[in-house]
Structure 1
Amino acid sequence: MQRYFLAENYTPKEQYEVTGEPYHHMVRVMRMNTGQQVYLAFQNQLSIIAEISAITDASVILKEIEKEQQEKELPISITIASGYPKGDKLDLVVQKGTELGAAGFIGFPAKTSVVKWDAKKLAKKQQRLEKIAQEAAEQSHRQVTPIVELLATEKEFLEKVATYDVIVVAYEESAKQGEHAQLARILQKVEKGTRLLAIFGPEGGLAPQEIETLVAMNGQLCGLGPRILRAETAPFYLLSAASYQLELM
């Protein structure tokens, strides 16, 4: 069953009207007819099964059949912050990170980032990543679409860092030194609803100065197992560990 995200909060209604891109996809791409059912996901993390009751030239009219019962979101909100990597690696991080339950993604210019994007390129890249996140959220039956933000300066990034409840910094040197329990301790203690920011460097890692700054902001350094992971692989390790600890244990 297809899933569509609506830019509104759920409130009980006799009918729901879908326009714009979801309308186009339902009518032009999927060629849906009256009587067919879809999922409608709302901004406040509620989703329903709805049946198409009418199709007009500009909108699809649906009626609620029942609310979706299964919880799809992680108990805590995890945002992945990645120092800009080379090529299309950030595309992969957003796509697979969305499937694994990330609530948001932040791209930032790390000191070792090779990629340099101006404001125009950043805006275009953000649009692409938002589309990737939406499609991945639909495919994985998420109840929300993750937020994507691409930042232009270190100052903007540090301002974002300061707004989170828990800050985790994936640090290669911690893994080399054999540290492997810090992440487990953090995940065992976090309470439901916590906003956690997980920070990852680009291919060259995070510079010592960046580590010092993040530690001064209460960032907690964590190794991710005994192996050294690529910039695009490390976020998946953390999200999988969080899912195991918070959803399966």
Structure 2
Amino acid sequence: MQRYFIQEMIDEDTVTVSGDDFHHMTRVMRMETGDRFYGVVNTKTALIEIDDILEQTLRGRIVDWVDETKELPIQVSIANGLPKGDKLEWVIQKGTELGAHAFIPFMATRSIVKWDAKKAAKKTERLRKIAKEAAEQSHRTVIPQIDDPVTFNRLLQLAEDYDHKLVAYEEEAKQGESLRLVETLKEIKQGEKLLIVFGPEGGLDEKEIEGLIAQGFRTCSLGPRILRTETAPMYALSAISYQLELVR
């Protein structure tokens, strides 16, 4: 059954849908009066039945509330040094499916891609749309937060709000480090916030690593192999899900 994030409510039992979601429901899915869908209302899922379809909006009635747990037990934010091409779109789509709570693109020293202010707004809008669609597809109850790319110094400031902070560092993998990610996941408690930083294609330079360590980050490896910038976040999120959702 289709799932949509509900932005408008007439009262506590009645919702309205417009814009792209309305178009998808009526033109793509060809829904009609009496059809039902899942709607996420303020992070809670409801079974909704369509009562009326107008020219630009439809109105639905909440039939029942659905008791479900879809989110990771901790809030994981992924900070990515801006990569080339559509790699960031891939990270956000798949990272959303794997449960990431937020994505923080940042301008790393070795980032080849540079976003100017005009491009940033349009690209961020597209990334948010990708996250919304991925959240609906994976039946999540939260759409990850995505901000415009930040500077490295701004990333360090944002890091102050997190309970646990890791940076994936390929030199640790080369030296055989294998415990810090595991140790962090054993220490972390439900509801806490974890920030993991990943470099762009060329990795993070030594000054960036030093700055992160000074801010309380722990360097870690993601296994013995060197992963691409778009693969590493998926590895980390999968490990987090395994440790916190399947093992515990």
Q: Name the structure 2 match of 1:17.
A: 16
CA distance in 2, matches of 1:56, 1:128: 28
Displacement of 1:131 after TM fit? Answer: 1.1
Q: Name the structure 1 match of 2:26.
A: 27
Alignment of 1:107-186 (within 5 A): 107-186=105-184
The reply on whether 1:198 has 2:170 as its aligned counterpart is no
Q: Name the structure 2 match of 1:74.
A: 72
Q: Please give the secondary structure, in 2, of the residue aligned with 1:162.
A: helix
RMSD over equivalenced CA pairs, Å: 1.6
* Amino acid in the other structure paired with 2:5: F
Within the candidate set 223, 226, 237, 2:224 is matched to: 226
* Amino acid in the other structure paired with 1:164: Y
CA distance in 2, matches of 1:210, 1:185: 23
User: CA deviation digits over 1:91-116, x for unaligned, max 9?
Assistant: 11001101111111111000111111
Q: Name the structure 1 match of 2:3.
A: 3
C-alpha contact 2:16 2:60 (8 A) present in aligned 1: yes
Displacement of 1:11 after TM fit? Answer: 10
Q: Please give the secondary structure, in 1, of the residue aligned with 2:237.
A: helix
CA distance in 1, matches of 2:17, 2:87: 33
CA distance in 1, matches of 2:205, 2:44: 41
CA distance in 1, matches of 2:77, 2:163: 11
Q: Name the structure 1 match of 2:46.
A: 48
CA distance in 1, matches of 2:7, 2:217: 33
* Amino acid in the other structure paired with 1:202: P
User: CA deviation digits over 1:25-55, x for unaligned, max 9?
Assistant: 2122222111111111133x21111111111
Give the number of equivalent residue pairs. Answer: 247
C-alpha contact 1:119 1:152 (8 A) present in aligned 2: no
CA distance in 1, matches of 2:187, 2:161: 19
Unaligned stretches of 5+ in structure 1? Answer: none
Displacement of 1:152 after TM fit? Answer: 4.2
- Give the TM-score normalised by structure 1: 0.94
User: CA deviation digits over 1:125-173, x for unaligned, max 9?
Assistant: 1111111111111111111111111324223222222222211111111
Unaligned stretches of 5+ in structure 2? Answer: none
CA distance in 1, matches of 2:62, 2:122: 36
Structure 1 range deviating more: 194-203 or 51-60 = 51-60
- Give the TM-score normalised by structure 2: 0.95
C-alpha contact 2:7 2:17 (8 A) present in aligned 1: no
Displacement of 1:240 after TM fit? Answer: 0.2
C-alpha contact 1:151 1:157 (8 A) present in aligned 2: no
CA distance in 2, matches of 1:14, 1:38: 14
CA distance in 2, matches of 1:7, 1:219: 37
| C-alpha distance 169-68 of structure 1, shift in aligned 2 (>3 A) | same
Q: Please give the secondary structure, in 1, of the residue aligned with 2:103.
A: strand
The reply on whether 1:36 has 2:43 as its aligned counterpart is no
CA distance in 2, matches of 1:97, 1:38: 25
Q: Please give the secondary structure, in 1, of the residue aligned with 2:155.
A: helix
CA distance in 2, matches of 1:7, 1:213: 40
